[in-house]
A and B are shown apart, each in its own frame.
Chain A
Amino acid sequence: MYIPFLTILVFFPLVGALLLLLLPRLNVRTLYTLAGVWALLELIGAAFLVDLGDYATAGYNAIEPLNWVPSLGLNYRLGLDNISAWLVILTAFLTLVTIVGAGFIAPITDRPNVFLAWVFGLEMGIIGVFLSTNLLLFYVFWEVMIIPAYFLIGQWGGPNRVRAAVRFVLYTFAGSLLMLVSILALVFLTTPAGGVPSLDFESVRKAIVGLPAGTQDWLFLGFAAGFIVKVPLIPFQSWLPDAYSESPAPVTVMLAGAMSKTGAYGFLRFGVFLFPNAAHDFAPWLAGLALVNIIYGALAALAQTDLRRLLAYSSLSHMGFIILGIFAMNSQGVSGAVLQMVNHGIVTPALFLALAAMARRVPSQNLNEIGGLQKVMPRLAALFLVLGLASLGLPGLNQFAGEFLILGGSFLVSPIYAVVAVVGLVLAAWYMMRFFQAVWHGPEKHSTAVQSIKVMDMQLPEFALFVPLVLLIVLLGVAPIIVTGPLSNTVTAWLAPVIIR
């Protein structure tokens, strides 16, 4: 019997969302438990995706075509390789983390069923992006992502949530319009006279090579506009600090952990793999922008006193590494970038949630108003230390493994890239330790903030969430081959035409 496995994977969350909206009023705890189970099922399904047994797999492991409107080039066509497999697993995992986080760490009790429905909607959009192998279908999922993200930021966030949500939509919308123009132009340019248009990834990729170089460049730039905004790269970042810091922490988990990866993934598959020539032309520029991101984000984090904004800038800086790896356009850089998408997707959400756990106890998130908290909450302090160390790239923890390959890959292209990027690592050590010490070490600040601590150290639900995250951080630091092994041949195969040209 034929089972459209990928299709089920994409729409299973949507079914969950609809069920949540239709269900009678349940109490909050039951609702979150049900949603958690639903997300767990999705994660288990996703976990079967990676072709772990055989490192030799290259290209797509599975393709699910369905000729939707063939005469229009709009095919419903899903495909899976080991790159998208890891990102789908990450997204499913982060959805579960978000639900646990919203249920127990930073509780969201306002219309929880609607909230959860939007979370599942966002999950569907993101997974759809990772699995689409038709350009127009990709675009549809890309736009679908915006709606849940908009409502999640705008309805459950902090005081400035509406401004943050509008700003987010404006930016992403502007970027994706340019991408749409490129896609439409591709339809016109690649359809043979009187023939049937096709926007399937493979056929477009073959057709693009025949286009004039200048045209390829312009088309590439259209796509790049959409991705740059989503990652984001400087100077299109100004939606990010607000969106990350105004959203409730569980939403930030989805935004920073999963959604930011769609931009990087887009750059990889619909940038480098789809437009090898144009990617070559623009690689130095985009690598340069990535370096700007790394340094700019790190410097901003160094000067921030608001902890959530500090983490937002830190995340921005780390996204720069991922883009740098992609535009090294060699196996080391690209494998490292995909590995780092997974790593960043674990560490950054964990940090935001840990901060939320702290914020429940200490009603200030400003460096200048708190201090010496290790004495009251030693376990939470230890958690922050591990997460901070992972984030600053301590060798032995997971982010180092990604940075190692990314920097190695870019070093092979030009040592200057690596030399500039490591300045970002030094700055990361600086701002992370400043952050950690200001909160946990130093003399206790006898401000109202510290005096009104209600709950003491970490509680059981928090252990249940953070212990697995920390174990993953250690595991992927000690044996990143778990991720890079299955990637190895896939990446090499995709890059072959890029490197040869």
Chain B
Amino acid sequence: MPEAIGLVVLFPLLGFLLVAMFGPRLSERSAAVAACAAVGLAFGAAIVATLGIGDGKSVFNYDWTVAGDWRVSFGLLADQLSVFMALIVTGVGFLIHVYAVGYMAGEENYRRFFAYLNLFVFAMLLLVTSDNFVLLLVGWAGVGLASFLLIGFYTDRPSAVAAARKAFVINTIGDVGLLLGIFVIFANTNAISYARVFASPQLTGVTVDHNWINWAAFFLFVGCAAKSAQLPLHTWLPDAMEGPTPVSALIHAATMVTAGVYLVVRAGPIFGRSDVMSIAIPLLGAATAIYAASCALVQTDLKRVLAYSTMSQLGYMFMAAGTGAYQAALFHLMTHAFFKALLFLTAGAVIHALGGEQDMRKMGGLGRQLPLARGTFLIGALAISGIPPFAGFFSKEAILGTFPLLGDGNPGITYGLGAGGQALIGWVGVVTALMTSFYMFRAYFMVFEGRPAEQTAHLHPTGQAMSIPLIVLGLLSTIGGLVMFPGLWNVFGDFFNRVFTTQLYQNLPNAKVIAPPTDGLEVTNLVFALGAGFLGIVFAGLAYQRLWRNRPTTIEPLRGGQNFLLNGWFIDALYNQTIAAGFKGLGTLIVHGIESVQQVLVDRGIGGAIWGSSRGVRRTETGYVRNYALVMMLGVVAILIYVAIVGLQR
């Protein structure tokens, strides 16, 4: 039954309130159990909502605000898209909660951590189950807040505090972008719920005005780019790795950062009709994919490799979603949630074992001591590299299969990208795939293979709470891709049929690419993508084979080009020195310049006379003179009024 979606949202909220308000009175164990149970129950409710999925009508409606002819009603929606996202959020979220029970053991502020985690899950569920754009924005900002709190969880670390603030500010840019998008939509369709906006004649009519649709899509995408760390609003994500690793897995890999992809699909009836954004989003996605992959090549911090990798994979999703290949985008969203959560949690297990060390140059040969971590990392690396039969293979093929490499163009894409543009994106995808498998296996070799580095003698064991989620996610990353087997079956697509075969999506110009081709894989793409995947592994093996023999005892300084990539092409530094410094400079100018000058002028100028005269008398009359002066001034007013009125009477 669709009403179960209410419980999906409610449980994490109750969990948050319980742990946040009564945290100090709860034992650490019961706080953790309560938080896990909240997400677990939400997962159960999400299953109920999925099984009893109704006709996609929104439930629990109420009027949020009203003004003039604007009426904003809030409600929850339990259609396929919502429950799919809710299942991922609560399912993967539950596993990560359980993992965190072990990972965070012994940390200060243990309960606070779980309260924040529940807050995040609540906001994320609000985001994906909202039936309108405004409630979506509430969830959108809520996950940003939770992200802020969790990135800056280690509050005494200045770097974590700064990273949290940066993430919050950049996400606020996204929020206000989304807000402006909402205004464009509201002003043009006079509606705010998905159902009414997408059915509005201003959007679906034969002769529609593309101008407003482009603006709406543009502003909405500003929100997507900030939330999903796409160029040029990506600089917060690598720094977000300051948060505890379960946070990176849940928020900055599996769920929150995919919100942008969700919105592009959800608002497909808008994005799919925007001629400008149908070209811009895939191109930006492709640019982000290859940019982030290039940065990942040289990172030395294990988590930053994964962060750039996440950004890069999100780029893939935007290539697909922006073009209209919604199933492929959602498919990759799901498998990525599995294998990237797996990779992060495995990285967490390694970092945990090493007592907090994240620098890969100080790791090595850990495979023997951490066999489970090695196994799960390997599964994750193979999955993300697109090696069959792991999950990433199927989803990446589904995306790359949309963009023919030889320039003949996808017959389904009649809108937006031309044949050349499609080929370009396809090739970027292939090259990125090569880079992906290279940097993943570089990380694998540096961490798990070769001779052990010195520091790896003493290892903390991986507890059960941490192992079980790793095993479950490992399993999902292995077989999760089989839900869509090209040419044979497409369980995934069948599930989404009810959404994507409605008029809302079928009337889109690119409706034919929503589902991946049913008659098997695009052969050229298959060959190149697979080749790229394997080649990357080989290159990584060749480049790092010396690690087998001896591990350098000193850490070599990075050279120019490496530095460039390590620092993300210095884009972050550029922002800091131009935009951020500019605003701060203006602020300083105002406070220490304009304000002071103005005050001096006022005090010495207009106020000078009164101020000066009263100062003279103050010695004798203890300052009460000014009070008399005030009364006199008011007396003057009274006389003025009187005189004026008397004058009028004559």
Q: Is the interface of A mostly helix, strand, loop or mixed?
A: helix
Q: Once the chains bind, are A408 and B161 in contact (CB under 8 Å)?
A: no
Residues of A within 8 A of B606 (CB): 170, 174
Of all chain B residues, which has the CB nearest A487?
A: B67
Q: Once the chains bind, are A426 and B637 in contact (CB under 8 Å)?
A: no
Bound Cα distance from A79 to B96, whole angstroms: 60
Say whether A124 faces chain B, with CB atoms less than 8 Å apart: no
Q: Once the chains bind, are B626 and A162 in contact (CB under 8 Å)?
A: yes
Residues of B within 8 A of A400 (CB): 141
Say whether B105 faces chain A, with CB atoms less than 8 Å apart: no
Q: Once the chains bind, are B634 and A442 in contact (CB under 8 Å)?
A: no
Q: Once the chains bind, are B68 and A492 in contact (CB under 8 Å)?
A: yes
Segment among B35-43, B162-170, B476-484, B565-573 that sits at the interface with chain A = B162-170
Say whether A365 faces chain B, with CB atoms less than 8 Å apart: no
Q: Once the chains bind, are B161 and A437 in contact (CB under 8 Å)?
A: yes
Residues of B within 8 A of A484 (CB): 65-67
Segment among B132-140, B283-291, B339-347, B399-407 that sits at the interface with chain A = B132-140
User: A180-B640, A184-B644, A426-B172 are known contacts. Are A394 and B67 too (CB-CB below 8 A)?
Assistant: no
Bound Cα distance from A479 to B590, whole angstroms: 37
Of all chain A residues, which has the CB nearest B177?
A: A422
**Binary CB contact string for chain B from 68 to 94 against chain A (1 if under 8 A, 0 otherwise):** 111010000000000000000000000
Q: Once the chains bind, are B63 and A147 in contact (CB under 8 Å)?
A: no
Tell me how far the C-beta of B592 lies from the nearest C-beta in chain A, rounded to whole angstroms: 8
Tell me how far the C-beta of B439 lies from the nearest C-beta in chain A, rounded to whole angstroms: 33
Q: Name the residue among B70, B152, B606 with the largest chain A CB count within 10 angstroms.
A: B70
Bound Cα distance from A335 to B187, whole angstroms: 17
Tell me how far the C-beta of B35 lies from the nearest C-beta in chain A, rounded to whole angstroms: 17
Of all chain A residues, which has the CB nearest B588?
A: A303
User: A235-B598, A332-B70 are known contacts. Are A430 and B169 too (CB-CB below 8 A)?
Assistant: yes
Q: Which residues of chain A (67-95) have a CB below 8 Å from chain B?
A: 71-74
Say whether A259 faces chain B, with CB atoms less than 8 Å apart: no
Q: Once the chains bind, are B67 and A331 in contact (CB under 8 Å)?
A: yes
Say whether B145 faces chain A, with CB atoms less than 8 Å apart: yes
User: A300-B590, A488-B67 are known contacts. Are A143 and B623 too (CB-CB below 8 A)?
Assistant: no
Residues of B within 8 A of A177 (CB): 637
Q: Name the residue among B67, B169, B610 with the largest chain A CB count within 10 angstroms.
A: B67
Residues of A within 8 A of B487 (CB): none
**Binary CB contact string for chain A from 110 to 150 against chain B (1 if under 8 A, 0 otherwise):** 00000000000000000000000000100000010011001
Q: Once the chains bind, are B610 and A422 in contact (CB under 8 Å)?
A: no
Say whether B586 faces chain A, with CB atoms less than 8 Å apart: yes
Q: Which residues of chain A (46-64) have a CB below 8 Å from chain B?
A: none
Partner of B65, one of A166, A434, A481: A481
Say whether A257 faces chain B, with CB atoms less than 8 Å apart: no
Partner of A154, one of B187, B590, B626: B626
Q: Once the chains bind, are A238 and B598 in contact (CB under 8 Å)?
A: yes
Q: Once the chains bind, are A426 and B173 in contact (CB under 8 Å)?
A: yes
Say whether A404 faces chain B, with CB atoms less than 8 Å apart: yes
Q: Once the chains bind, are B591 and A443 in contact (CB under 8 Å)?
A: no
Residues of A within 8 A of B627 (CB): 150-151, 154
Tell me how far the C-beta of B180 lies from the nearest C-beta in chain A, rounded to whole angstroms: 6
Residues of B within 8 A of A395 (CB): 134, 137-138, 140-142, 175
**Binary CB contact string for chain B from 600 to 622 against chain A (1 if under 8 A, 0 otherwise):** 00110011001100100000000
**Binary CB contact string for chain A from 415 to 449 against chain B (1 if under 8 A, 0 otherwise):** 10011001001110110011001001111100000
Say whether B186 faces chain A, with CB atoms less than 8 Å apart: yes
Q: Once the chains bind, are B145 and A335 in contact (CB under 8 Å)?
A: no
Tell me how far the C-beta of A223 lies from the nearest C-beta in chain B, rounded to whole angstroms: 16
Tell me how far the C-beta of B137 lies from the nearest C-beta in chain A, rounded to whole angstroms: 5
Bound Cα distance from A218 to B452, whole angstroms: 84
Partner of B66, one of A150, A300, A481: A481
Bound Cα distance from A440 to B161, whole angstroms: 10
Q: Once the chains bind, are B583 and A437 in contact (CB under 8 Å)?
A: no
A contacts with B, residue count (CB < 8 A): 88
Residues of A within 8 A of B145 (CB): 389, 394
Residues of A within 8 A of B623 (CB): 162
Say whether B599 faces chain A, with CB atoms less than 8 Å apart: yes
Q: Once the chains bind, are B183 and A372 in contact (CB under 8 Å)?
A: no
Residues of B within 8 A of A441 (CB): 152, 155-156, 161
Residues of B within 8 A of A197 (CB): 648
Say whether B411 faces chain A, with CB atoms less than 8 Å apart: no
Residues of B within 8 A of A166 (CB): 607, 610-611, 614, 626
Bound Cα distance from A440 to B137, whole angstroms: 27
Residues of B within 8 A of A374 (CB): 155
**Binary CB contact string for chain B from 629 to 650 against chain A (1 if under 8 A, 0 otherwise):** 0110110010011001100110
Residues of B within 8 A of A187 (CB): 644-645, 648
Q: Once the chains bind, are B610 and A170 in contact (CB under 8 Å)?
A: yes
Say whether B427 faces chain A, with CB atoms less than 8 Å apart: no
Residues of B within 8 A of A276 (CB): none
Residues of B within 8 A of A434 (CB): 165
Tell me how far the C-beta of B341 lies from the nearest C-beta in chain A, rounded to whole angstroms: 27
Say whether B158 faces chain A, with CB atoms less than 8 Å apart: yes
Tell me how far the C-beta of B59 lies from the nearest C-beta in chain A, rounded to whole angstroms: 17
Say whether A101 faces chain B, with CB atoms less than 8 Å apart: no
Say whether A485 faces chain B, with CB atoms less than 8 Å apart: yes
Residues of A within 8 A of B180 (CB): 411, 415, 418-419, 422
Bound Cα distance from A336 to B72, whole angstroms: 13
Tell me how far the C-beta of A455 lies from the nearest C-beta in chain B, rounded to whole angstroms: 18
Tell me how far the C-beta of B23 lies from the nearest C-beta in chain A, rounded to whole angstroms: 9
Partner of A74, one of B67, B599, B634, B645: B645
**Binary CB contact string for chain A from 458 to 489 against chain B (1 if under 8 A, 0 otherwise):** 00000000000000000000111100110110
Say whether A191 faces chain B, with CB atoms less than 8 Å apart: yes
User: A188-B648, A437-B152 are known contacts. Are A169 and B587 too (CB-CB below 8 A)?
Assistant: no
Say whether B14 faces chain A, with CB atoms less than 8 Å apart: no
**Binary CB contact string for chain A from 400 to 414 against chain B (1 if under 8 A, 0 otherwise):** 110011011101100
Q: Which residues of chain A (357-413) have a CB below 8 Å from chain B?
A: 372, 374, 382, 389, 392, 394-396, 400-401, 404-405, 407-409, 411-412
**Binary CB contact string for chain A from 283 to 318 against chain B (1 if under 8 A, 0 otherwise):** 000000000000010011111100000000000000
Residues of B within 8 A of A411 (CB): 180, 183-184, 187
Of all chain A residues, which has the CB nearest B174?
A: A426
Bound Cα distance from A426 to B67, whole angstroms: 25
Q: Once the chains bind, are B66 and A299 in contact (CB under 8 Å)?
A: no
Partner of A300, one of B169, B187, B587, B641: B587
Say whether B549 faces chain A, with CB atoms less than 8 Å apart: no
Say whether B495 faces chain A, with CB atoms less than 8 Å apart: no
Bound Cα distance from A115 to B502, whole angstroms: 68
Tell me how far the C-beta of A498 lies from the nearest C-beta in chain B, rounded to whole angstroms: 13
Residues of A within 8 A of B424 (CB): none
Q: Once the chains bind, are A143 and B140 in contact (CB under 8 Å)?
A: no
Tell me how far the C-beta of A46 lies from the nearest C-beta in chain B, rounded to whole angstroms: 23
User: A238-B598, A444-B156 are known contacts. Are A296 and B67 too (CB-CB below 8 A)?
Assistant: no
Tell me how far the C-beta of B30 lies from the nearest C-beta in chain A, rounded to whole angstroms: 19
Partner of A303, one of B187, B587, B611, B631: B587
In the assembled complex, 18 residue pairs joining A and B whose CB atoms fall closer than 8 Å, in A order, are A143-B634, A167-B602, A170-B607, A299-B587, A303-B588, A331-B67, A335-B68, A372-B156, A394-B142, A408-B183, A415-B180, A430-B165, A433-B164, A437-B165, A441-B155, A444-B156, A481-B66, A492-B68
> When A and B form their complex, which 4 residue pairs have the shortest distance between CB atoms, in order from nearest?
A331-B68, A303-B587, A335-B67, A429-B172
Chain A contact residues, CB within 8 Å of chain B? 71-74, 136, 143, 146-147, 150-151, 154, 162-163, 165-167, 169-170, 173-174, 177, 180, 184, 187-188, 191, 197, 235, 238, 241-242, 296, 299-304, 330-332, 335-336, 339, 372, 374, 382, 389, 392, 394-396, 400-401, 404-405, 407-409, 411-412, 415, 418-419, 422, 425-427, 429-430, 433-434, 437, 440-444, 478-481, 484-485, 487-488, 491-492
List 16 extra interface pairs beyond A71-B649, A167-B607, CB under 8 A: A146-B634, A170-B606, A173-B633, A177-B637, A332-B70, A389-B145, A394-B142, A395-B137, A400-B141, A405-B65, A408-B186, A426-B169, A430-B169, A433-B169, A481-B64, A484-B67
